[in-house]
Amino acid sequence: MTGNATAELTITGMTCDSCATHVRKALEGVPGVLEARVSYPDATARIVLEREVPVQRLAEAVAARGYGARPRNNDATSAGDGQGLHIAVIGSGGAAMAAALKAIEQGARVTLIEHGTIGGTCVNIGCVPSKIMIRAAHIAHLRRESPFDAGLPPTSPTVLRGPLLAQQQGRVEELRRAKYENILESNPAIGVLRGRARFLDAHTLSVTLNDGGEREVVFDRCLIASGASPAIPPIVGLADTPYWTSTEALESDSIPKRLAVIGASVVAVELAQAFARLGSQVTILARHTLLYRDDPEIGETLAAAFCGEGIEVLEHTQANRVAYAADEFVLSLPSGQLRTDKLLIATGRRPNTRELNLEAAGVAVDKHGAITVNDGLRTSAAHIYAAGDCTDQPQFVYVAAAGGTRAAINMTGGKASLDLTAMPVVVFTDPQVATVGLNEEEAHHQGIKTVTRTLTLDNVPRALANFDVRGFIKLVADAETGRLLGVQAVAAEAGELIQSAALAICNRMTVQDLADKLFPYLTMVEGLKLAAQTFTKDVTQLSCCAG
């Protein structure tokens, strides 16, 4: 191009006239550009040049402000497919990684911002290390006690927490490297900024870099996937004590002689049993009952199993005050005092949203600080999305990852929604707790008349062969149609059967459909078929593997 030549570009990522101003200033800052006229409605830029300027240089100037640019005579890419979009992702956990990978697959450019350890909660301080610890505790328990002690005399194991912790953390580091760090390093379309992000306005983030300095990131779209942190109850004196959250508990290199657990949800019950099986004398303080948001029979069954293992469960109990002196915690309870060596607080998790300055971007949160999203993961700001534990959706990593993927599709012009109708949940206690769909109370709240059946495990051949009949399988069906609405199970390996129930609900199967299907004999999942048969038959009168 020579003289007062012109160039025309298609600009992607603009959402308002202010964006057009950003693009104009970026172009007019390129040496050789006399003037740039940018139209947001037309998504175009007309540039007057005083000398030849490579189009790539113009595109790079636009990209530096977070927008995309390409010559108008090469406009084969359809609008909204992600081509040229700049997407900022806050976080690096399951939701963030799923979104980043899907976004670059759609042609977008991603800047991922993380102030802490790459990988987020699940791989580093949540799912992975906790399940490793729980598995080790299960092995210790079986060596100490099993239904086959008469023929396999038990031997109480010596628990060496140091080597167990090293094994646990080694696997954590291996998975973090393979599933997060290596993937980021091998994808040049994903840039990583190590620092803490906050919104300056609806299209700009300020990042306080870990190694000093500030960086502004201008984006077309943004995904907030900042996760959550342990919520700490306002108990008098607690803040002045060296209490544990799940993070400190999982990283501890010793097993306390006495452990008190405040909380009654998933993290509380899983870690309480793990520490008990590794040698701690454990007391659980539950404000209501164990897993009180679920079917009441679940909490009752789990409490009975815990008591059978020597775990003290104090239901409807709260600590009024906590003190710490001489390496000992003293909890003031309505019934007296409880003394313990370590105190684990496991009362839920709070969304990490307080430091993001969401007001500047027009992003709304609920009373708990969780970002409100629709089924497409869009926030109250049309071009900003959120997924994972920082939102008002269930705090499970597979929900986060699914949300991140769908958010990326929507951010790049597609249309996807996250359906949580048949979301399976597993609590990794022993026996395990697994649920999917509606329980009776939830169905009635929706105005659905139900019919239910509960099958105790002494009717499941696999449980009988294992000499472990603790628990039950409960089916909730629509009273008018027989369609399966929900399943609640407490059983060894209940987590391995619940996905079959989820698929049945997704496919709108009736309990009769389920009863008529073939299930392999001597599996726990056969219990679903047997439970379904109880709607029309007395299963105690059936032969083994009766069809």
Catalytic hit among 1, 40, 127, 292: 127
CB 276 within 8 A of CB 270: no
Catalytic hit among 67, 180, 243, 385: 67
For the question of residue 67 being annotated catalytic, the response is yes
* Residue owning tokens 């051949």: 461
Catalytic hit among 97, 122, 423, 509: 122
For the question of residue 1 being annotated catalytic, the response is no
On the 0-12 / 13-18 / 19+ scale of CB atoms within 10 A, 102 is buried
Sheet strands (E) in 415-483 = 425-427, 432-437, 450-456, 472-478
Q: Could you give the C-alpha distances from 284 to 6, 12, 275, 280, 428, in angstroms and in order?
A: 74, 55, 12, 12, 17
For the question of residue 16 being annotated catalytic, the response is yes
C-alpha of 444 from chain center: 28
d(CA 102, CA 240): 44
d(CA 387, CA 260): 33
Q: Count CB-CB contacts under 10 A for residue 252.
A: 16
d(CA 22, CA 65): 7
Catalytic hit among 40, 292, 324, 545: 545
For the question of residue 544 being annotated catalytic, the response is yes
d(CA 47, CA 38): 8
User: Which residues neighbour 488 within 8 Å (Cβ) at sequence distance 6 or greater?
Assistant: 294, 295, 297, 298, 434, 435, 439, 473, 474, 476
CB 386 within 8 A of CB 88: no
* Residue owning tokens 């790459």: 118
For the question of residue 506 being annotated catalytic, the response is no
Any idea which residues carry the catalytic annotation? 14, 16, 19, 67, 122, 127, 544-545
